[in-house]
Chain A
């Protein structure tokens, strides 16, 4: 019996890749091919605490009956023909869950008893106990209590920190602050004492479960700045004390301390504060690849930028103006129009008071725009296409109003329109790609084409408030969490 609502327990267990979060025997877990943990046929690879490795495959999965089955493909012991099932039942009088975990296998007779005892004691009973502790920890997470003072880390050892995890997919309320033990940096890694954490829409998508980047129980966040606290073996180009930032996968930035591959780190120029860096890097890199790699914006290009007063929008407008493009900003209120104008927009359309596609036609003498940067998606997609001229390019790089959904591409033919759906990860997943984008961004900053933002700041524990503010569209510019 587990003293927790069966829904909460299932939210954790249903992910075939969640063992490393709570099971004491499992040091690390990943799913081959980066497939999601609820995909039937998925193969998980465990590294156990004693170094052994095993592979298991998901055979069946039912949200309706809260059950799944799996088999062992490879193990260090003769656990032959091993098929196990997990099944949860709710106990109607008291809000607890019954967790049934069964395994059947066919070991050599001489090993039968030892292996059965091992599975029962070390895997199942230890798992039950660890899950109770894990759930207790999740619930008693000191959501609004101050973070503990950072203790001096043991040289090379694990250190205490705090982090914000997604308890389950949902609204801002699913974000919980918890204490965490941050391992020593491994080979090629640095541990960073984070001083500012960027808040981005991708974090909201991860929290809602729209993306598969973060499983329930995992830590969200793609961007932070801070100081290198220690480095692992074979790290030559980064030293403790260096000011660095990053804006890339894997998620896990909502934390006071974290480890990160050093080749994904960007060294910060002295002119940029940590808070400004955490408010700029991801959005600036986004603007950099949108303007240069996805589209080729240059002198005379007519662009339309939705959410022109937003974090990415402001940078896009200003940078495009520096490239001598003609920039039409679309915003949702007169106050935001004012901000868009200060970013150099040649014209600003307030959606709601005027149809932006008609306005773009009027402003371009009927020709239409060359490029539309649209991260709003559902509410704007059709009219964005209508705003484009012949051989125009719609760059759909986000979905703040919801998925675009299924569309026919036939309509694009009337003006030979190109449609791009870039994903941040594919422009930032190697050291070379990140270095290129960061170099461009810092050069633009130096030249004044990009200005350092003055983000609105929130304590890390108030991540739910920051998310609610971002989603309500009340905010302009960047939001940063302070651990």
Chain B
């Protein structure tokens, strides 16, 4: 089982950051790598069990199912149903924690998955840097301006 983890401090109140990332269909709005996204079967993006189907800017298509969503903890979990990355049993979690002292937000994004042993290190690196860190940087940039 491989694990990857990234975190960052976003210069904005947690409620503001949550309003952006809570939308399971909102990846094109805040990440730099998603071209378009839709929720299958016309479900609401905050309906647990809904499937987002999105296209990466490099052309790859990914389907992910929302497993859990909590407005109470400001967190959500999802799994990959289909992707070009060659991962299995992929479950990721996104979580926000308010930093009350400075009215900022601690954001963490992690995943656990299985992959072919020879590909594992490259995938941990790729997902950590090009997905999670890139997404968190984009969030920081969004709230810095």
A and B held together in a complex: yes
CB contact list, B64-96 vs A, under 8 A: 67-73, 77, 91
Complex-state Cα separation, A69 to B69, whole angstroms: 10
- Report the nearest A residue to B72, measured CB to CB: A59
Contact B71 A62 (CB under 8 A): no
Contact A62 B72 (CB under 8 A): no
Contact A60 B70 (CB under 8 A): yes
Contact B44 A61 (CB under 8 A): no
Complex-state Cα separation, A207 to B94, whole angstroms: 33
Stretch at the interface among A35-43, A238-246, A328-336: A35-43
- A-side contacts of B71, CB under 8 Å: 40-41, 59-60
Contact B48 A62 (CB under 8 A): yes
Stretch at the interface among B26-34, B35-43, B101-109: B35-43
Complex-state Cα separation, A14 to B47, whole angstroms: 11
Contact A63 B70 (CB under 8 A): no
User: A474 on the interface (CB 8 Å rule)?
Assistant: no
- Count A-B contacts at CB 8 Å: 57
CB contact list, A58-101 vs B, under 8 A: 59-65, 69, 83
Number of interface residues of B (CB under 8 A): 19
Contact B44 A60 (CB under 8 A): no
User: A355 on the interface (CB 8 Å rule)?
Assistant: no
A contacts with B: majority SS: loop
- B-side contacts of A401, CB under 8 Å: none
User: B4 on the interface (CB 8 Å rule)?
Assistant: no
CB contact list, A423-477 vs B, under 8 A: none
Complex-state Cα separation, A36 to B42, whole angstroms: 12
Contact B49 A63 (CB under 8 A): yes
Across the interface, B41 reaches (CB within 8 A) one of A38, A69, A403, namely A403
Contact B48 A40 (CB under 8 A): yes
- A-side contacts of B7, CB under 8 Å: none
Contact A39 B46 (CB under 8 A): yes
Complex-state Cα separation, A210 to B50, whole angstroms: 11
- B-side contacts of A236, CB under 8 Å: none
Q: Using known A-B contacts A38-B47, A39-B47, A406-B53, determine if residue A61 contacts B41 with beta carbons closer than 8 Å.
A: no
Across the interface, B38 reaches (CB within 8 A) one of A39, A62, A64, A406, namely A406
- A-side contacts of B69, CB under 8 Å: 40, 60-62
- A-side contacts of B48, CB under 8 Å: 14, 38-40, 61-63
- Report the nearest B residue to A38, measured CB to CB: B48
Complex-state Cα separation, A210 to B49, whole angstroms: 12
- B-side contacts of A64, CB under 8 Å: 67-68, 77, 91
Across the interface, B67 reaches (CB within 8 A) one of A36, A63, A83, namely A63
- Report the nearest A residue to B93, measured CB to CB: A64
- B-side contacts of A59, CB under 8 Å: 70-72
Contact B77 A62 (CB under 8 A): yes
Residue from the set B38, B69, B73 with the largest chain A CB neighbour count within 10 Å? B69
B60 to chain A minimum Cβ distance, whole angstroms, is: 14
- B-side contacts of A39, CB under 8 Å: 44, 46-48
- A-side contacts of B77, CB under 8 Å: 62, 64
Q: Using known A-B contacts A403-B41, A406-B53, determine if residue A36 contacts B47 with beta carbons closer than 8 Å.
A: yes
Complex-state Cα separation, A104 to B38, whole angstroms: 38
Complex-state Cα separation, A61 to B68, whole angstroms: 5
B48 to chain A minimum Cβ distance, whole angstroms, is: 4
- A-side contacts of B67, CB under 8 Å: 62-64
> What 0/1 readout, one digit per residue, does chain B (99-142) give for beta carbons within 8 Å of chain A?
00000000000000000000000000000000000000000000
- B-side contacts of A63, CB under 8 Å: 48-49, 67-68
Complex-state Cα separation, A83 to B71, whole angstroms: 13
Complex-state Cα separation, A209 to B68, whole angstroms: 19
CB contact list, B1-44 vs A, under 8 A: 38, 40-41, 43-44
Complex-state Cα separation, A59 to B76, whole angstroms: 12
Complex-state Cα separation, A351 to B72, whole angstroms: 53
Q: Using known A-B contacts A36-B44, A36-B47, A38-B48, determine if residue A60 contacts B38 with beta carbons closer than 8 Å.
A: no
- Report the nearest B residue to A61, measured CB to CB: B48
- Report the nearest B residue to A14, measured CB to CB: B48
A104 to chain B minimum Cβ distance, whole angstroms, is: 12
Contact A41 B40 (CB under 8 A): no
- A-side contacts of B47, CB under 8 Å: 36, 38-40
A14 to chain B minimum Cβ distance, whole angstroms, is: 8
- A-side contacts of B73, CB under 8 Å: 60
Complex-state Cα separation, A38 to B44, whole angstroms: 10
- A-side contacts of B70, CB under 8 Å: 40, 59-62, 69
- B-side contacts of A35, CB under 8 Å: 44
Complex-state Cα separation, A62 to B49, whole angstroms: 9
Contact A69 B72 (CB under 8 A): yes
A-B contact pairs, 16 of them (CB 8 A): A35-B44, A39-B44, A39-B46, A40-B71, A59-B71, A60-B69, A60-B72, A60-B73, A61-B69, A62-B67, A62-B70, A64-B68, A64-B77, A64-B91, A65-B68, A83-B72
Chain A residues within CB distance 8 Å of chain B: 14, 35-36, 38-41, 59-65, 69, 83, 210, 212, 403, 406
Q: Which 8 A-B pairs have the closest CB atoms?
A: A60-B70, A62-B68, A64-B67, A61-B48, A39-B47, A59-B72, A40-B69, A40-B46
What would 8 more interface pairs be, CB under 8 Å, given A36-B44, A59-B71, A63-B67? A35-B44, A39-B47, A40-B47, A40-B69, A41-B71, A60-B72, A61-B48, A63-B68
